[in-house]
Amino acid sequence: MNMEGVQGSVAANSTVYIRNLPERVKIDDLKENLKVIFEEYGNILDIIAKRSLKRRGQAFVVFDNVASATKAIDELQGLEMGGKEMRMSYARTKSDATVKREGTEQDFEQHKRRRLAEKERKQAQEEAEKKARATGAPEPAKPRAPKTGMQAVPDEFVPANKILFVQNIPKDVDTEALTTLFQQFPGFKEVRTVPGRVGIAFVEYEHEDFAIKAKETTANMRLGADQKPIKVTYQRQG
């Protein structure tokens, strides 16, 4: 389970994101305390709290309807727990429990793939920042606030979309071979090469969920006589 909460205004949904919680409380005790506080507002499907340093002081309470979440936020905002006032908002994304309950199995699988893609992007960003700090180099631009001009967001941090950007394609791998590779994934539309440019191509799918699945499977796949690994990211948008 991995959800992102935001402090600003987001669309109403059935999951409450809570921050500014006491960090020294054991996770099991924290979840039990939250259950006691929130259960009077409706049926709780799940309570998520993480032990990691980055997730301390945060939690998610998943109700089975939006009305319960809204009422809880309105009435419990600023409630004190462990000497700290809780800050609440709607979660930015739906929880696994909510998607599984409201949608089809396909919806749930697509939700998990999107979440995995976002997780991989964030891990890559964190690794790049860690490496930059260790070497004293400037940290890479944040993907959510890219700088204009020459300092573009690295390929690895481009948000998921329906078009894949394939690099490091061996010279002996032509468009037909790439088509054979990528058309095995659902939603395939076409492979596009760039005149005058070797080693790169764009692969388009009908929806980003199909592209995510293809990327997960083909990233670093070895092709050609030299078995050279290809690099698969997403096309830059805008």
Class of domain 103-238: alpha beta
Bridge partners of residue 46, in order along the sequence: 62
15-101: CATH architecture? 2-Layer Sandwich (3.30)
Q: Tell me which of 222 and 157 has the higher pLDDT.
A: 222
- Per the CB < 8 A criterion, the answer to whether 114 and 209 are in contact is yes
Sign of the alpha-carbon torsion through 40, 31, 20, 54: negative
- Residue 172 one-letter amino acid: D
User: Could you tell me the CA-to-CA distances from 102 to 13, 70, 93, 168 in Å, in that order?
Assistant: 12, 18, 14, 41
* Residue 20 CB burial class (10 angstroms; 0-12, 13-18, ≥19): middle
- Per the CB < 8 A criterion, the answer to whether 233 and 158 are in contact is yes
Domain ranges of the chain: 15-101, 103-238
**pLDDT band with cut points at 50, 70 and 90 for residue 101:** low
pLDDT, mean of residues 133-152:
53
Query: Is residue 153's pLDDT more than 70?
Result: no
- Per the CB < 8 A criterion, the answer to whether 69 and 60 are in contact is no
Same fold, 15-101 and 103-238: yes
* pLDDT value at residue 3: 44
- Mean pLDDT is lowest, of 64-68, 118-122, 129-133, 137-141, for 137-141
- Residue 89 CA to residue 115 CA, distance in Å, equals 20
Segment 27-39, tens digit of pLDDT: 999 999 999 999 9
Nearest 5°: the CA angle 221, 107, 234 is 35
Residue 112's closest CA among 122, 125, 97?
97
- Per the CB < 8 A criterion, the answer to whether 169 and 206 are in contact is no
**Consecutive H or E run containing 234:** strand 231-234
DSSP 226: T
Q: Tell me which of 78 and 93 has the higher pLDDT.
A: 78
Residue 17's closest CA among 63, 55, 61?
61
Backbone dihedral angles phi then psi of residue 186, each to the nearest 5 degrees: -60, 145
Q: Tell me which of 151 and 192 has the higher pLDDT.
A: 192
